Every structure is written in C-alpha cells, then in structure tokens.
Structure 1
Amino acid sequence: MPWASANPSIELLRWRAIRDSLPFIGTSAADLPATRHCRGRSTQRTGSRFGGNTVASKSIREFDVVVVGGGGSGLAAAIAAASEGARTVVLEKSTELRGSTGRSVGSIAASGTPDQKRLGIADSADRHLADYRVISGHLAATENVELAMVLTHNVTETVAWLREMGMEFFGPVGESPHSAPRLHNVLPGSRSYIYHLERRARRLGVVIELGVAGDRLLHEDGRVTGVEAHDAVGHRQTYAARRGVVLAAGDFSASATLKREWIDDRVSRFVPVNPCATGDAQRMALELGGQVLNAEVFDVPSMRLAPPPSEGLFGLLQKLPPRAAVTKPIRWGLANLPNRLIRSLMMGFVTTYLSPREALFDSGAILVDTHGRLRSNTSENINLVVAELGEDGGYIVGDRTLYEKFSSDPHYVATAPGVAFAYMPDFRRSRKDVYAEAPTTDELAAEIGISAAALNKSIADAAASVTGGAAPLTEGPYFALGPVRAYLLQTNGGLKVSTRLEVLGRDDRPIRGLYAAGNAGQGGLALFGHGHHLGWAFTSGRIAGRNVARAASAQHLAAAE
C-alpha cells in the first residue's frame, strides 16, 4: 500500500497498514526483475534551459511524434498518435517492450462495462470517481479532481479499445473499498497487453527502437522539438519531433539516486520490480522546468514467491501467443471449472508472483535468510524485513500444525486476483519449485540448501520468544516456502500535467510540445487500489498521443509567426 515519508528517517509508526497483496499475473520465472534487459541506460546530464542546444549529434531522424518509453502507456500513446496519421517512433532503452505494464497484476478498474451489465451490476463513472477519492486517502485533499475524472470517465472506453485489439478479460471482480465489482483481469496475464499493443503499433507503421535511451529533450524558442538519445554502444542519435514528444518512461523505482534524494536512504536499497524505471522522464522534464508531484510517495514492498518455472506444460502455455484460441478457453474455465481445478490453473499458468499472507507469521511461521538465520524475530513489518534481504530473499518455514491450519478456508496462504485462493496442498501439488517438505528440520535444511545448525537455532530462538496465538514449530513433517522476496512495486512521483496530458512548467503553463503519460505523467494522482495504475497508463497514453498528434507542427507554427 502506498505511503509517504517527508523526512530522511523512516519511523515505522508513520507507516500505514499494508493490506493483503494480490499476485502478479502473466509472466514466467525468466521474468524476475533483472537489469540485463536495460542495455541503453540514460546518461546523467545537466542540460541547458530554454534558449538553444549545444550538443551536436551524428545524425537526425525526423518524425512527427517521439514517444520515450515502450511500456503500456508509451505504446498506447504511439498507437493513438499513429491513428491520427502522425509518423511516430517509440524509444525503449530495454532490449524488449514491456515496462511496468508487463510486470503488473494485469487488472483494470472500470465502470459501466459490458461485463458489468451482463452480470446485472449497476455502476457509473461518477460512482467510480467517488470510490476512487475515498481510496486516495489523505492525497485526495491535494490531487487534481479533474485529472481523476480523466481516468474514471474515460477508462471504460479504454477497456473497449483494448478489447477491440483482441484482448480478453475475466471479471469484473470486487475488491474493497470499491462499492461495485470493477476489476477486469486480462488473460492470460499482463503480457497480453504488450503483445497486442505492439502488434497494433507495428501495423500502423510505428517505428520501434529497442536499446535506445533518451538523454535529454531538444528545444527551440520555448518549444520541445525532439529527443537526443544513445544506443547500447553509446552511438548518439537525434530524433526530431515535428509535433511533439510524449514522455512515458515510467517511475524512478530503480534509481537509487532519486529514491535517496526524494524518499529515503533505506528505500534506495529496495529492489524494484521494474529494473528499467530509472526516472528518465522526470529528469529530462525537470531540466526544462517541469514539476514532480508526490515524489515522496511509494508502494511499500510486499512479499512475492517466484513465478512458475518456464519449462514443462505450463511453461509452454506461457509462451503461446495470447490470442483468442488461448484466452477464450481460459476465460471459460475460470467461469465454469471446479475451484480445485481453477486453483491449479491459476497457480501454474495464469498466476505468477503469489504473495504469502502475513497471517502465516502470526500463526507461528518463521522467516530465515539463505544462511538459515532467523529474521522474523522483530516487531517490524515482515514485508520490510524481506525487502532488506534483497535478491537473495529468504524462506518461510513451518510445521505440520501450520500446514494443516492453512489447508482450508478461511486460512489461505495466498490469493489470485478475485478468482481463487491458494492453500498449502495447492503449493504441495502444483508449485514444487517453491515448496519443500521433509520429515525433519535437518532434512528440510538440506532440501533448500541452508545450514541445518543455523535453521535449528532459528527454530529454537523463535520458540523461546513465542507470543500471542503463535505456537513453536515442533511437529514434523516441516515445510519451506521460498525463496520469498519483496520488491518495490512503484514510486508515485510523476510530472505535473494538464487534463490534456501536457507537461506543466513552473508557472503551471504547458511546456509546448511536451506531454507525459502513465507513471511519468501521474500528475499528483494517488492511483491507490488495484486497477488504477493500468487504467491510467492506457487512458493517459491514448489522450496524450491523440493530443500531440493533433498539435500543429513546429514548422507550421514558425510559418504562422
């Protein structure tokens, strides 16, 4: 759950309660956060203010619209611009199109959809807005209500737009405090968004440049005219934009420097879900007088188990193109199959990053690191403890008593987005890659590759400090879930924008020729609650792309003057 820190030291008393987290869906084990795909990292440049450019590039390529970022919002902007007849290029510093969208839960919150009407659910954009404002909490007092309306009153059309491209959704499902079921979950997962958006973009003639990172915005007479960029080997290239530039490069959750400057030193060490989100859009816009709002707000890391392995039957299914032949049977199965089969389907194919519940630890489970040392003997939130373990992660260890308790309702281990609950037998049956079991603790330690002596000491130390309803681990067989990690999902600091998604300067007037979308153009919106970040990514991208394409070209403006 998002929270904000206003001073450099984190005081746990100021943390808001963390609600149960939903898992990521639609990726495989090969999709765990890694930096290997971010080849064209942006260089840090001071840049000049408005008034001219001093850096020469080897060559210039001309387009009507330049989009920086190849995730969901960037591809949506490119498609919208190209649909208006604009010659468009997407610059993506990674070696693949994905962004935060391709690593997301995959759900969109929307009202008044055909899915709702089919189920007899009465809902409206105004009702959605009212709920959204409640979810925004204390940020509701400062966020732009008109910008929130851009989301809630346009996202229904966005879902129809995505569906027209071939995407299939399951739902809607409910989630508190929404007053109606609104979560529409894309099938088979979030990779479907990127797959279909890329197909549409290429059909429209959008040029996609992979491994190309934006360095700075080019400008002339107070108008943004292009982007200077470099590729993986350092070759520089100028991309001229006759009509304008859309910044859609995401948040800054992968920038230790910006996290340290805007949030906290401790947060700067948290591992991001998206290793390519280094704040490029914010940095480039700030050089021209842009404003970043809510820079101190971020989502508290939450525990994640690894996604299913990419080999085997489920691995094969994950690699199939997410077209109707795959998604329609899945949708039918989710609506009609028995719960046990649905859980197997979700855990092995649709669901990936399952989030263990904190209730496991309240009932006596312990957390050990990869050396077997006890880490759960603290009053600190367990998600933060896991986050401190970084990429190595740790293991959740329990005994037969815990296994039996979390084998049936209401004691579930993890949940899929409004579809199914996962219990211990589900892990034992379907997720042997993250589940280990042994008659003794020594044998369990050997199974997961940690020190038996250290594990036994951790179990003894935990037993000596048992409080509340927890019980010591004494009855075999014993189990371990892991490795479990906790990732920083996102930071909320985005550029201040108008309802047309124009980037606003220090005087709150639009910087001509510059637009922003997605996390980069979050504009002070809270976007709390599942389904709002993706809804904003696609909706803001569509609006930004359409508006930049309809803008007069720099040459036309010069001629008019």
Structure 2
Amino acid sequence: MKAASSRRHLLKAGLATCTVLPFGGVLSQEKKEEHLWDKEFDVIVVGSGVAGLTAGITAAENGAATLIVEKMGEIGGSSRISQCDMAIVGSPLQKKLGIQDKPEWLAADMQKVSGGLTDPEYALTIAKGTSALFNFMVEHGVIFNDTLMHFGGHSVKRTVYPVGGGKGIIRPLSNSFASFKNSKLITRCKAESVIYDGDGRAIGLKVRTNYLFNPLLDSEDTENKTGSVKYFKARKGIVFASGGYCRDNSIVSAEVPYLKGISSNAQIGATGSGLRALLEAGAYPVHLSLFRFSFPISYTDICWGMYVDPSSGLRFVDEGGNRDKISMAILDQKKKNGNVTPVLIYDSAAIKNFHDQRRLKRGLALKNTCGGNIYKFDSLEELAKAYGIPVVALKEQAQRYNKMLDELKDTEFNKDMKAMKGAGVRKAPFYAMQAMPFIAYTAGGAKITPQAQVISARTFKPIKGLYAAGEAAGGIHGANRLTCCSVIDCGVFGMIAGTQVSKQES
C-alpha cells in the first residue's frame, strides 16, 4: 500500500509540472519517469466495437502489448446492436455467383452520396480493404450467412451479413483478442484525456476505472465523475475507436438546433466522450454538423410506398428521394400538423419489392422499434379509420398516385415512377406504418490521414502517437454514408490503425 501511495504521489507531482495548452492537450515539461504510471502497455485502444476490436487484434498480432478500454459495462458499443451488413468486394459469395466487382466501383458508389464533401482516397482505401477485412473476420471466428444482398445505391450485388448480427462479430473478435497473453480488455474504464510528452507525442491516457455510466444525467459525459482516476502509459500510441455522439443532445442540438431531442437507436453510451477527449487533445474536428438519418426499415424500401399526412390524407414528399430530404420533410410535416406522425402505406404488391426482407418480417411481426411495426388492413377504409385519416381524401390520393404510376409521371413531387416496378396503392391487403427518422450515425469526428493518424488543429499535421477509426474519425463519408458501409469503414480503418500504431518505436 505504501508503494502504491508513493507512486500516486510521484505521479501527481509529475503532472503538476505539465503545461496545459490552449487546445487542451497536456505537454510535459520534463521527461516522464517510468514509475509515474499506474499501468503500461505498448498500445491503448479506446472503445470495443468493430473498430476497437480490429485495431486491438491487429496491434496484438504484430506483437504489441495492447489494452482496450471500454467505458460501458458491456463491450461492443453500437456495433453490438447493429445488423452489421457489410459491402464486400470480391467475397466468396460474389465469386460463387459470378458477380464482377471492383473496389473502384464501390468507392464510386460511396462518393455519389457524399455530396462532394470528402476526399475520394478515403472511400477507395475502405473499398480496397474490404476483402482483407472479410478474411480477417473469418479467420477470427465470424460466420457469415450464405445470402448475398443488393441494396439501393450499390452498383452491384455485394452485401454480406454475419450470423447473429453485431453480436456475431463482437463475440468472436473479443474472444480472439482475449487469447493474446500480453493484452487486456477493461470495461467500465472511461478515457478522459490524452497525455503528451515534451515533444508533442501522445504517450498515455488519464482514465477513470470502475466508471458507472448514468443515463439519467442531462450531460452524462461532463457531469459523471464516478470511478478512480488512473494514468495508463502507451509506449507506441493510442487508437480512439470510441464511437459517435448520437445520444449526446448537447452536441447534436449545438450543431443542428432543429434536431434537438431527436431519437436515436445507437447504444446509450454514444455520448461523445471520445470526441471531447480528442478535441481537448488538439484534434481537428470535421463534419460535426452532418448526421445520417435512419429508419426502422431500410431507407431503400421507403420508395415502394406512399407517405401521407394523417390530417389531410395527402402526400407531402417524394418517397424515392434523398434520405435527408425525406427525413426533414417528415419532421417538418409532423411539426405543422400538431405532432401527428405521417403514415407510410404499401399494397400487397409493393412489399414484395423490399430489399431488406429481414426488417420487413420483423415489422410484420411487430418486433421493430421507432415506429417500424407494420400493420395489415383488408381495405383502405379500415386503414384510414385506424389512423384517423379522412377516408375520401385518402382514396382520392391513392387514385391520383396510381394514375401517375401508370403514366410514369409524378406531377406532385416528381418521384421516379419508372423505378417503382409497378408498386402502387391498389391491391389489398394494404400495409401501413409510422416510420419516423432517427439518427444512428454521426459523420463528424477527428480528421485523420489515410493511415488513420489524427490531424492536429494547430499544425494540420499528424499528431504523433494518436490514431482514430470508425465514428471517432470524421470526414470519411460526407453528406451521406452509403448503406452497408459503416462496418467496413470501422474494420478497415481499425486494421490500418492497429498496424500503424504497432509499428511505432517504444
């Protein structure tokens, strides 16, 4: 006990001589002594989702003694509760089906929805790394279904998904990481700040061990001071794979006031703790005001239906339009009509066009969230009564919609009727849902290089010893992230970060 107390005293004395820079980073004015640290590792990874585990395993495979710290009591982050659909170029399923694909094609698909806000090199880096990521996951125990899917926005059929969804990735990867003798994973350990040496190199973390997450606090990340402060050294470097900030209302409302209070299906720990630590460490923030709207069904399957305002029975949006435009139109319409949620209507022919049959089946079984349950009706009259829609107005709207579909010209909202495969609102039974948009992904974070190095806000050069991957990094996808590209982003850049940090000198 006396030795531990002495070590803590020396640590405090050492930190007292440090200089806190304007951007929040701490630069030591003297060389740190080895005995000032509570624990030492070669590499420290913050976060235990797909990005964190791939970074940790890769670093450990390269011989680095690696620590993964996770602030929650359960590992996996948002990856754990995701379906984890993955766009893979050159997968065994593509080869089996004779489907031609190239990394350049996937990168081009990603860039089409980016709004021109990103460097194409990032998309190409991800696309080129998908095959290696798939093999990595298989080697570390992930089992994939034998079904290949084709989602909207992708030029070819290339999406695979793991058995068991996110848990089917997190469990085997965490078991694999645990097999490395010199590595360790600690839960309920929150990374608070990065510590630098006198040369501006990231050399460790201030953390809180035995941290108890409290979702009842207004600002969990800034108000919660539970746990014990410790200092962990990283001889080679630190990788932030700490996820996003969907659940942090202070950040969301500060960036886009209109979205204050919007719901999210991200894991409850997505409160921006990693982002704050990175910004305080001097990272350059990018795209913090960009958010990706999601729906309880695949966004690409909204197009087959007809969205109406329950108060009037009238359409209010191009259902086949841009994800953001549809989302904002729904939010606007709900505010205009007294907070009544719009209704999305399909007929029995339309639901056969769904890309994602898994979510359709969950919706029909009433097992979806965020308004994703899908209800069946024998007639439009029955449907209108259930949602309080003026039946005459709804039937007239359906007739106009079907006529425009037959004539292949939407005179109301310019929807591409040629792409609808005849999906109208004419054949019973009918189906309806109140699918509200929510945010499940944040595009903003620390700017990184294609080698996953965090860029300094002061110098615009890489910060020595500091890396980021997954949602902790920003500027990768731009205005919109193409569906099925989140996990491959996390995994590819996680592997890159783990490789790069493990190469550094101790």
TM-score, length of structure 1 as denominator length: 0.65
The 8 Å contact of residues 229 and 237 in structure 1, kept in 2 or not, is answered as: yes
* Of 128, 147, 151, the match for 1:153: 128
1:85 offset after TM fit, Å? 1.8
Matching of residue 138 in structure 1 with residue 116 in structure 2: yes
Helix, strand or coil at the partner of 2:76: coil
* Of 406, 410, 414, the match for 2:347: 406
1:120 offset after TM fit, Å? 1.3
Helix, strand or coil at the partner of 2:109: helix
What residue in structure 2 maps to residue 23 of structure 1? none
Matching of residue 93 in structure 1 with residue 40 in structure 2: no
Q: Kindly, what percent of the aligned residue pairs are identical?
A: 23
Inter-CA distance 414–488: structure 2 relative to 1 (3 Å threshold): farther
Distance in 1 (CA, whole Å) between partners of 2:367 and 2:389 is 23
What residue in structure 1 maps to residue 467 of structure 2? 515
* Of 173, 176, 180, the match for 1:197: 173
The 8 Å contact of residues 406 and 413 in structure 1, kept in 2 or not, is answered as: no
- Where does the alignment leave 5 or more consecutive residues of structure 2 unmatched? 1-21, 31-35, 213-225, 318-324, 401-427
* Of 194, 199, 209, the match for 1:217: 194
* Of 270, 273, 280, the match for 2:262: 270
Distance in 2 (CA, whole Å) between partners of 1:203 and 1:375 is 61
1:286 offset after TM fit, Å? 1.6
* Of 5, 24, 40, the match for 1:62: 40
What residue in structure 2 maps to residue 20 of structure 1? none
The AA in structure 1 aligned to 2:178 is R
Distance in 2 (CA, whole Å) between partners of 1:163 and 1:412 is 33
What residue in structure 2 maps to residue 536 of structure 1? 489
TM-score, length of structure 2 as denominator length: 0.71
- Where does the alignment leave 5 or more consecutive residues of structure 1 unmatched? 1-45, 306-352, 368-373, 446-451, 472-476, 554-561
What residue in structure 1 maps to residue 409 of structure 2? none
* Of 415, 433, 437, the match for 2:354: 415
Helix, strand or coil at the partner of 1:271: coil
Q: Deviations over 1:341-392 (max 9, x none)?
A: xxxxxxxxxxxx8997365444x6x65xxxxxx59878377745776989xx
Helix, strand or coil at the partner of 2:196: strand
Helix, strand or coil at the partner of 2:108: helix
Q: Deviations over 1:77-135 (max 9, x none)?
A: 11111111222111112221122222333211121233222211222223333333334
1:435 offset after TM fit, Å? 5.8
Helix, strand or coil at the partner of 1:187: coil
What residue in structure 1 maps to residue 456 of structure 2? 505
1:269 offset after TM fit, Å? 1.6
> Which structure 2 residues correspond to residues 296-445 of structure 1 after superposition, within 5 A?
296-302=289-295, 304=296, 357=302, 360-362=305-307, 379=316, 383-384=327-328, 406-407=347-348, 409=349, 411-412=350-351, 415=354, 417=356, 422=360, 430-431=365-366, 434=373
Inter-CA distance 61–386: structure 2 relative to 1 (3 Å threshold): farther
* Of 488, 491, 511, the match for 2:439: 488
Helix, strand or coil at the partner of 1:181: coil
The AA in structure 2 aligned to 1:468 is Q
Inter-CA distance 385–173: structure 2 relative to 1 (3 Å threshold): same
Inter-CA distance 354–431: structure 2 relative to 1 (3 Å threshold): farther
Distance in 2 (CA, whole Å) between partners of 1:227 and 1:295 is 24
Inter-CA distance 497–395: structure 2 relative to 1 (3 Å threshold): closer
